[in-house]
Structures are given as structure tokens and as C-alpha cells.
Amino acid sequence: MIPPPVMDDLLSQYLLKGDLIGFIIALYTSVMGEVFFAFILLGISVPLYIRTQSLAYVTVVWIILGALLEAIIPTTGLSLGKILMVLGVAAILYQLFVRERG
């Protein structure tokens, strides 16, 4: 049997204890942790796109950073890493099937 993720276990402990304020603070802290890493990655992606004007470079960076986030920070970066990898693959498929008209 696979154990539940750490954050879910912590949140359920707050609820079982009856600590509603602790539950809300823990939930807010976990969400802000993911948003913090998203802003760091946004700070890398936007200047890269502005400089290269190509979505291909950004998608490769998203896929690599998504995999690194899942490997390095598994509890915090798991959902953000999956979102980055899905966005990277979706952007590559978009470039593959949509041809620019010039």
C-alpha cells in the first residue's frame, strides 16, 4: 500500500485534532510554497521567451525544470512539476500541428 503524501497527512492531523486555524495556516503555507517556485520559474521563462521569441526553447526549459522540481523537491514541487511538464508537451504538440502563416 502506498503511503499518503506528507502534506495530506499533516492536514488531516490538524482536522482530526480539531485545529481549524492550524489547518488553514498549513494549507496557506503549502500553497504559497508552490507559488514561490512558480514565480522563480516564471522569472526564468519570460526573459528566455522575450530574448529568443521562440516557444521551443521555453518548452524544453519547462520540461527539464518540471522533472528537476519533482526530483529535488518532491512534496512541494510535485504538482507544479507535473503542470510544467504537461505545458511543455502541449506546447511542443501545438508547434508540431499548427503552422504559422506568414
One digit per residue, pLDDT tens: the chain, 102 residues?
555 555 567 778 888 888 888 888 888 887 777 788 888 888 989 999 999 988 888 888 888 888 888 888 766 666 778 888 888 889 888 888 887 665
Quote the pLDDT of residue 28. Answer: 83
pLDDT of residue 51: 94
Q: What are phi and psi of 53, to 5 degrees?
A: 55, 30
- Sorted by sequence, the CB contacts under 8 Å of residue 68 that are 6+ apart come out as 81
Full-model pTM: 0.63
User: 5 by DSSP, 3-state: which?
Assistant: coil
71-76, Cβ contacts within 8 angstroms, sequence gap of 24 or more: 73/37, 75/5, 75/6, 75/7, 76/30, 76/33, 76/34, 76/37
CA gyration radius, the chain: 18
pLDDT of residue 47: 93
